[in-house]
């Protein structure tokens, strides 16, 4: 049995973990039930909503922990209104053989495993990128469009264009793609990739995926796919804002897709790029061609949802605590 | 896998020459960048151990050739970057301009093309009114 300050901090951690899990469940269910509404928003709003979804559980966990544990720290509030509603009894007592310790150990294991797994995966990915960079050359012709020569050309027949790298992202275009498209299409691709580079999308994707991985696997994947689409739509929109015609951008998308499809695995022993779900291209094209891009970020709805989930979590953590300790030994 | 500058050049040379022994590789690089035969031999050995070259002993010397074609090699690197995303959505460090699902077909592309044309016609007629 641990007593005193250390016990208090361990209890804070436990409350934080419980609140996080509960808010992940509540937000996850909300997303599962209303995820289809996302397509009615602008790409920018979609990005914000998705960030709100993955970050809110963490913020709620902090708030719930503060509300539950503050009365224990501040004696004057100990008998106050909040403490009569919710409180964490035995704040200064922590048993290593209790369910609190089990919760803490479970979360720590999942968290550490998740971080290590992601770091290894990122390292592997960065090594591949490093090697690829060695076989690429800077495209001087692109300097007018991409500031500071951030475009590299890879000599390969595989038609591909992408932006990669975490802190210094670069845009890559293969010669196979560059030589099969017109100057205007090449410019559209460069502007699109530049938008990804300017926004540090690869890094943001990684961070988003990390926070998304705390949801269930199905919801995590849905969130990643939705963010991928929102990022692509934002990059398409950035090209649109430079004055390029929507139809020209959409047609370039279709042309590059056709080129990728024509490049069969037999020719190079590679599958055509990543498994970008079919509806993604559909949505990108229809979004580009739509005059009304959609609704703005729903401040009122998200604020209400935030308050509601925080209150539900606050009450649930306290209830869960009391119910568990009523039936089981602490 | 990390490749040194000489390793990269040797690999490049073998992609173009197809088959060569250490002496032939050395003869080519001696004129261009100097160095010794043993440096070339150890470079070839390293590339072989990395699985990028295959070798065949003919007499006393090894005949080296690329184990993988240049396009396939680059393709695999790109595929590696993108397929990471397939296996576990989110580990990808790249944002591809476009990519396709294996189920995607020409009919779907034609349907999307029709949407673009229809919208463009609509915009034109709206503009002319």
CB contact under 8 A, A130 and B2: yes
Are B59 and B75 within one domain?
A: no
pLDDT computed for residue A50 by the predictor? 96
How far are the Cα atoms of A131, A191, A257, A294 from residue B99, in angstroms, in the given order?
Answer: 22, 17, 6, 25
* Mean pLDDT of all residues in A27-49: 91
> Cβ contacts (< 8 Å) between B69 and chain A: which residues?
268
Which chain B residues are closer than 8 Å to A235 by Cβ? 95
pLDDT tens, position by position, A83-95: 565 566 676 777 7
How many residue pairs bridge chain A and chain B with CB atoms within 8 Å of each other? 199
Question: Which residue in B60, B57, B38, B50 sits closest to B11, CA to CA?
Answer: B50
Q: Are residues B52 and B76 in the same domain?
A: no
Give the residue-averaged pLDDT of A158-167. 87
Higher pLDDT, B123 or B99: B123
pLDDT at residue A182 tops 90 = yes
CB distance B104–A228 less than 8 Å? no
Contacts of B54 (CB under 8 A, 6+ apart): B48, B64, B65, B66, B67
DSSP string, B23-80: HHHHHHHHHHH---HHHHHHHHHHHHHTTSEEEEEETTEEEEEESS-HHHHHHHHHHH
Task: For residue range A200-244, list pLDDT tens digits in order.
Answer: 998 999 899 889 989 998 999 889 889 989 999 999 999 999 999
Q: Retrieve residue A249's tokens.
A: 């951008």
Query: Is residue A321's pLDDT more than 80?
Result: no
Q: Are residues B75 and B60 in the same domain?
A: no
Q: Which has the higher per-residue pLDDT, A69 or B101?
A: A69
B56 and B91 fall within a common domain: no
pLDDT at position B81 over 80? no
pLDDT at position A164: 87
Which of B3, B86, B116 minimises the CB distance to A274?
B86
Of B66, B82, B109, the residue that ends a domain is B66
| B102/A275 CB distance under 8 A | yes
> Does one domain contain both B18 and B53?
yes
Clarify whether residues B30 and B80 are in a common domain: no
Domain housing B20? 5-66
Which segments within chain A are labelled E, that is strand?
2-3, 93-94, 136-138, 151-154, 161-164, 170-174
Inter-chain CB proximity A193 and B113 less than 8 Å? no
Question: Which of B49, B66, B83 lies at the terminal end of a domain, its last residue?
Answer: B66
Share of chain A above pLDDT 70, in %: 84
Residues B79 and B117 grouped into a single domain: yes
What are the sequence ranges of the domains in chain A? Answer: 1-40+50-134+298-330, 136-294
- Nearest-Å Rg of the Cα atoms of chain A is 25
Per-residue pLDDT at A329: 60
Residue predicted with more confidence, B28 or A263:
B28
Number of domains in chain B: 2
Chain B residue whose CA is closest to A290: B119
Measured between CA atoms, the residue of chain A closest to residue B105 is: A261
- Tally the C-alpha atoms within 13 A of residue A247's C-alpha that lie toward its C-beta: 12
Q: Examine the domain organization and report whether B77 and B62 are in the same domain.
A: no
Task: Give the residue on B whose Cα is nearest the Cα of A118.
Answer: B91
Summarize the confidence of residues A17-26 as an average pLDDT. 91
Q: Which helix (H) or strand (E) holds A242?
A: none
Output helix, strand, coil percentages for chain A, rounded to the nearest 5.
Answer: 70, 5, 20
Residue-level pLDDT at A270 = 41
pLDDT at A72: 60
Q: Which of B66, B89, B112 is the last residue of a domain?
A: B66
Give the Cα separation of B84 and A117 in Å (integer): 13
A274 pLDDT band (50/70/90 cuts)? very low
ipTM comes to 0.71
Residue contact B98–A285, C-beta within 8 A: no
pLDDT at residue B42 tops 90? yes
CB contact under 8 A, B78 and A281: no
Q: Are residues B79 and B107 in the same domain?
A: yes
Which pair of structure tokens corresponds to residue A55?
């970050």
Of the two residues A87 and A288, the one the predictor is more confident about is A288
Q: Identify which of B70, B81, B120 has the shortest CB distance to residue A247.
A: B120
Percent of chain B with pLDDT over 70: 78
Is the confidence at residue A188, as pLDDT, over 50?
A: yes
Which of B70, B91, B99 lies at the smallest CB-CB distance from A118?
B91
Q: Is the pLDDT of residue A145 over 70?
A: no
Axis crossing angle, helix B70-87 with helix A99-134, rounded to the nearest 10: 160
pLDDT confidence of residue A248: 92
The pLDDT of residue B119 is above 90: no
Shared-domain flag, residues B57 and B100: no
Instruction: Give the closest-approach CA distance of B56 to chain A in angstroms.
Output: 24
Cβ of B112 within 8 Å of Cβ of A250? The answer is yes
Q: What integer pLDDT is reported at residue A276 of this predicted model?
A: 34
**Does A96 have pLDDT greater than 90?**
no
pLDDT score, position B123: 75
Please report, in angstroms and rounded to a whole number, the separation of the first and last CA atoms in chain A: 11
Are B17 and B60 found together in one domain?
Answer: yes
Whether the pLDDT of residue B1 is over 90: the answer is: no
Contact check, Cβ <8 Å, B102/A154: no
């Amino acid at each position: 049995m641990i007593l005193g300050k250390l016990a208090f901090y361990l209890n804070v951690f436990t409350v934080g973990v419980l609140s996080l899990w509960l808010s992940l469940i509540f937000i996850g269910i909300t997303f599962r039930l209303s995820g289809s509404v996302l397509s009615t928003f602008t790409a920018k709003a979609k990005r914000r909503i998705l960030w709100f979804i993955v970050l809110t559980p963490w913020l709620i966990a902090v708030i719930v922990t503060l509300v539950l544990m503050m009365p224990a720290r501040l004696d004057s509030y100990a008998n106050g209104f909040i403490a009569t509603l919710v409180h964490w009894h035995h704040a200064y007592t922590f048993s290593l053989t209790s369910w609190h310790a089990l919760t803490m150990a479970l979360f720590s294991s999942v968290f550490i495993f998740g971080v290590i797994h992601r770091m290894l995966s990122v390292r592997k990915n960065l090594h591949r990128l490093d090697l690829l960079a060695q076989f690429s050359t800077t495209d001087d012709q692109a300097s007018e469009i991409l500031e500071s020569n951030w475009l590299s050309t890879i000599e390969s027949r595989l038609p591909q264009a992408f932006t990669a790298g975490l802190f210094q992202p670069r845009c890559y275009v293969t010669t196979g793609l560059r030589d099969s498209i017109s100057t205007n299409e090449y410019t559209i691709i460069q502007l699109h990739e530049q938008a990804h580079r300017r926004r540090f999308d690869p890094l943001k994707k990684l961070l988003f995926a990390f926070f998304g991985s705390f949801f269930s696997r199905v919801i995590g994947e849905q969130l990643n796919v939705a963010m991928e689409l929102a990022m692509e739509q934002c990059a398409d929109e950035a090209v649109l804002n430079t004055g390029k015609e929507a139809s020209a951008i959409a047609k370039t998308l279709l042309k590059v897709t056709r080129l990728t499809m024509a490049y069969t695995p037999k020719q190079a022993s590679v599958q055509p790029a990543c498994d970008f779900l079919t509806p993604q291209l559909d949505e990108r094209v229809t979004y580009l061609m739509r005059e009304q891009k959609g609704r703005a970020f729903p401040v009122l709805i998200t604020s209400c949802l935030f308050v509601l989930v925080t209150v539900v979590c606050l009450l649930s953590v306290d209830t869960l605590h009391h119910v568990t300790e009523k039936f089981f030994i602490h | 896998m990390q490749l040194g500058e000489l390793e990269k050049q040797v690999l490049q040379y073998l992609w173009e020459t197809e088959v060569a022994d250490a002496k032939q590789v050395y003869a080519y690089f001696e004129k261009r960048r100097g160095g010794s035969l043993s440096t070339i031999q150890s470079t070839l050995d390293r590339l072989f151990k990395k699985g990028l070259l295959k070798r065949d002993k003919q007499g006393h010397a090894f005949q080296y050739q690329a184990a993988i074609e240049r396009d396939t090699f680059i393709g695999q690197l790109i595929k590696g970057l993108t397929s990471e995303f397939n296996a576990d959505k989110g580990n990808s460090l790249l944002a591809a301009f476009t990519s396709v699902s294996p189920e995607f077909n020409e009919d779907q592309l034609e349907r999307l093309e029709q949407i673009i044309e229809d919208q463009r016609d609509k915009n034109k007629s709206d503009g002319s009114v």
